[in-house]
Amino acid sequence: MTTRTETTPVIPLPATAATTLTGLGALAVAASAAMSWTWTSDFPGDLTYYGSPVGLQWLAVAAGVLTLALLLATLGTPGLRWAAPTRSNNAVLYAATGALAVAAYSVTSISTELGGLANLEPGGWVLAGGGLLGVLGALGLPLDRRTHVPLRILDKRLFLLLPAAPVGWIAAHAIPGDKPVAPVMTALSGALAIAAGAVLLLQLGHLANSQLRLGKVDRPLPAPRELPSWVEVLLIVAAFGVGSYAITFGIDTDYGELFIGYLLLIAFMIAALAGSGLLGRLRALTLKYRPVTTGAAFAAAASFPFQTGEQYASVATNILIFATVALGLNIVVGLAGLLDLGYVAFLGVGAYAAALVSGSPASPIHVQLPFWAAVIVGAAVSMVFGVVIGAPTLRLRGDYLAIVTLGFGEIFRITMQNLNGTTGPNVTNGSNGIPRIPELNILGFDFSQTHALGGIQIGRFGNYYLLMLLVTALVVLVFARVGNSRIGRAWIAIREDETAAEAMGINGFRLKLLAFALGACLAGVAGTVQAHVTYTVTPDQYTFADALPPNSAFLLAAVILGGMGTISGPLAGATLLFLIPKKLEFLSDYQLLVFGAALIVLMRVRPEGLIPNRRRQLEFHEADEPAPPAADDDTTALTKAGA
Amino acid sequence: MTTTTAPLLDVTGVTMRFGGLTAVNDVSLTVGEGEIIGLIGPNGAGKTTFFNCLTGLYVPTEGAVRYRGTVLPPKPHLVTQAGIARTFQNIRLFANMTVLENVLVGRHTRTREGIFSAILRLPRYHHAEAESREKAMELLAFTGLAHKADHLARNLPYGEQRKLEIARALASDPGLLLLDEPTAGMNPQETRAAEELVFAIRDQGVSVLVIEHDMRFIFNLCDRTAVLVQGQKIVEGDRATVQNDERVISAYLGAPLESTTPAAPEDTQ
């Protein structure tokens, strides 16, 4: 099934008018940052000043400037043409929509938090107007569109929710507050309102889709200009520099409103850059210089504590631990296809092993091994646990394995709780855990002290961040090398079809056990660092599900959301899954609701994950692909009807 | 039964029961070095069950399967390692792997590179990997799929998927290849190409045991053909013996009369 495309505007406007409108809108959004958006400093970040942009205003500057740059690049402005190799106006539209999203979000959050549109200063109005103008203009540009998109109508029964929601609201308010059913009715009417809103939004989305008919930009990239290889390498480095800055900005956002605005901007800008072809260019470059890319990625990651303070280094360290464990889980889930719902237990095994041999006064084993030995102990004990748990369970397939691993994860936690001297021998100090794990000291480098590295003060979390980055690098190396080898191919074969894999001579059980053991071992290594970072190891850190990562449910979500079977996928997924709940804390009661909704939306939009494996992408978007050569499909009808 | 060479595969009295159902009943069969043996029978006769008994997927209730004189272990991967490779009736490729990777998976038993070798990437690893790739590309060239090495297996047309299954099976350097309905769903041209391929495989010194419904294909190809009906081998022999056997005719047609199938020769009454 191939979809036909055309290049037409959505709103018929003269070409110059559309361009001018878009440009003016983008300029207005960027310029509004120099004006006051609101009169009071009650809104986080204090947006009351003229001439000195802060927080959300910087996002507006970025959105406006990027939109303008992409517009000029698409028009073919000399010097900017590199930014839009495809010359597709869709990129401009996405960027302008990103600007509108930032503007709309800023204006609504200002007016809801402060109580009314009256709280907007002229800058706020310029921002909103500019955002709207930009999108209107961009819709008048010739866009890459499908020729026909049928309007999808939701199941008619769902529309019954629309009248039901106000009825529920009236009913909930009609009942006096002292009746026992009142809270139930309130909750029910709330749920009805949310469901009705979702239906309305979905149907509006379908309507917009059938009207806008925006398709994927699949214009071929023109051949890149011949550049000396050192320039290409520099381009990769520059791209990673920009990426590192963008991620650092996200981690450093110090209030929730800024983080949401940032996420909106990033999402639309990535769409815009993909549409302009710039991301395709970058991918071609990174494929050409793989070692440089890996090096640049790690250099960018290592630069983090040099750019930011101790507070965010602690967040980043926890992200790294979470991401590394997610990558280890990706071996088990993504490569070998084994659904493990108790994976966090292996992180716990590593952490407990390291805590026991760390010399903590609460540890019944009064030894203090050097860190390298503790890592080996943690990895080995974890691996043994992996084999012990895997050997009986890996004979099961699919859902059964998932349930058994879920059970083992909980058994680990409860066992650690019970080894407290009362209900069992005292090994782990029960639910109090093992506290006062001493700080690491490797070759005289004291991790608890602030050190000056290259003239910049790196504090405790910065030190641990850099150590954890080494562990991450190790896990990435192992994943990359094993994944692309005889063993990795065997894992993927088992994931694809275990019976066929065994018929090809693969010892399924043995290889699944190997995947399980390797995954456990890597999580154990991460656990040994985690024990020192958190000072204390308690059983409650290693649950199946919790509001904050890492726990087994979040780990699995990071792998699936990020992209199964890839390296960067779980890393990106883990980063996002760590930051979203953390930054949404200002939503208090609604935090998990919004987080859940965000997950549903993400999985609906990108079922293959943020950074999909090439194979998975084909699996989920078969309809978008050019039809495979199907010459033989027609002729199978002519086959012999069995003798 | 005429066996001109020493038996490569020696199946004696294999019986497979599932509870009260006897799917395969006391079947004996030999395959000699360099032979192509056919196995036919109506649907549900137990042909695939018999195959599964040979390849270790099922453990036969009674009887023994010997390959080159040794009894085969009842584990699919060990059977493959011993030298028997198979294809499946309903194609079972690794759909989301490339064509080349599918064949490389077939090389699994003939390579030794373990996890430490993969992590350390010593010269030996690169050497073994290059050798595997070379061998896999040879097989793809042999089956005419070399130009599609980087395609995903799922995107191949039906006929090429069948070929890829054969290439993947051959990658394990088998002495005996078991083909389960290799031409099911193929048009006449493709069936002829498959015939050529099976002959070419035999010419490389690999014996072939093939299940098929297509009589023309079977009789063109096979040195001997065994007929399985309701789990029992009722006859085995060359084309004339099988075609003239009344039990075969009644098993296929029920009543000795009209038919459009090529399986019903005119001179059988």
- In order, the DSSP letters of A48-85 are --SS---THHHHHHHHHHHHHHHHHHHHT-TTTGGG-T
Nearest 10 degrees: CA dihedral of A306, A311, A315, A318? Answer: 90
What's domain B1-83+174-269's superfamily in CATH?
Answer: P-loop containing nucleotide triphosphate hydrolases (3.40.50.300)
Lookup result for tokens 């780990």: A555
Mean pLDDT of B148-172: 92
Among B48, B86, B93, B94, the residue to mutate for chain A (most A Cβ within 10 A): B94
**CB-CB neighbors (< 8 A) of B77 in chain A:** 502-508
Q: Which residues pair with A458 in a beta bridge?
A: A451
For chain B, what are the domain ranges? 1-83+174-269, 89-173
pLDDT at A602: 79
- Of the ranges A14-23, A432-441, B246-255, the best mean pLDDT one: A14-23
CA distance A316 to A182: 44
* ipTM at complex level: 0.90
Average pLDDT for chain A: 86
Interface of A with B (CB under 8 A): 477-478, 481-482, 485-490, 492-493, 496-497, 499-508, 514, 518, 615-616, 618-619, 628-633, 635-636, 638-640, 642-643
Whether B43 sits inside 8 A of A477 (CB atoms) is: no
Task: Collect all residues with Cβ–Cβ distance below 8 Å to B9 and sequence separation of at least 6.
Answer: B29, B30, B31, B54, B65, B66, B67, B84, B176, B207, B209
**Which helix H or strand E contains A401, and what residues bound it?**
helix A399-418
Lowest mean pLDDT among A207-211, A450-454, A565-569: A450-454
Q: Are residues A404 and A506 in the same domain?
A: yes
Q: Are residues A422 and A557 in the same domain?
A: yes
Task: Let me know if residue A595 belongs to a domain.
Answer: no
**CB-CB neighbors (< 8 A) of A642 in chain B:** 43, 213
Task: Let me know if residue A259 belongs to a domain.
Answer: yes
Task: Let me know if residue A597 belongs to a domain.
Answer: no
Whether A504 sits inside 8 A of B97 (CB atoms) is: no
Architecture, CATH, for domain B89-173: 3-Layer(aba) Sandwich (3.40)
A3 pLDDT higher than 70:
no
Q: Are residues A14 and A123 in the same domain?
A: yes
Q: Are residues A135 and A181 in the same domain?
A: no
Q: Are residues A167 and A113 in the same domain?
A: no
Mean pLDDT of A178-195: 84
Whether A507 sits inside 8 A of B159 (CB atoms) is: no
Q: State phi, psi for A395 to the nearest 5 degrees.
A: -75, -15
- Of the ranges A380-384, A554-558, B186-190, the best mean pLDDT one: A380-384
Whether A639 sits inside 8 A of B186 (CB atoms) is: yes
Domain range for A266 is 5-148+213-287
Task: Let me know if residue A608 belongs to a domain.
Answer: no
Mean pLDDT of A86-113: 92
- Give A570 or A309, the one with higher predicted confidence: A570
pLDDT tens across A234-255, in order? 999 999 889 888 988 888 888 8
Q: Minimal Cα distance from B88: which residue of A?
A: A500
Task: Let me know if residue A299 belongs to a domain.
Answer: no
Report whether B226 contacts B38 (CB < 8 A): yes
Q: How far is A37 from chain B (nearest CA, A)?
A: 52
Q: Domains in chain A: how many in total?
A: 3
Q: Are residues A206 and A228 in the same domain?
A: no
Task: Let me know if residue A479 belongs to a domain.
Answer: yes
- Burial tier of A52 (Cβ tally within 10 Å: 0-12, 13-18, 19+): exposed
A144 pLDDT higher than 60:
yes
Mean pLDDT of B231-241: 89
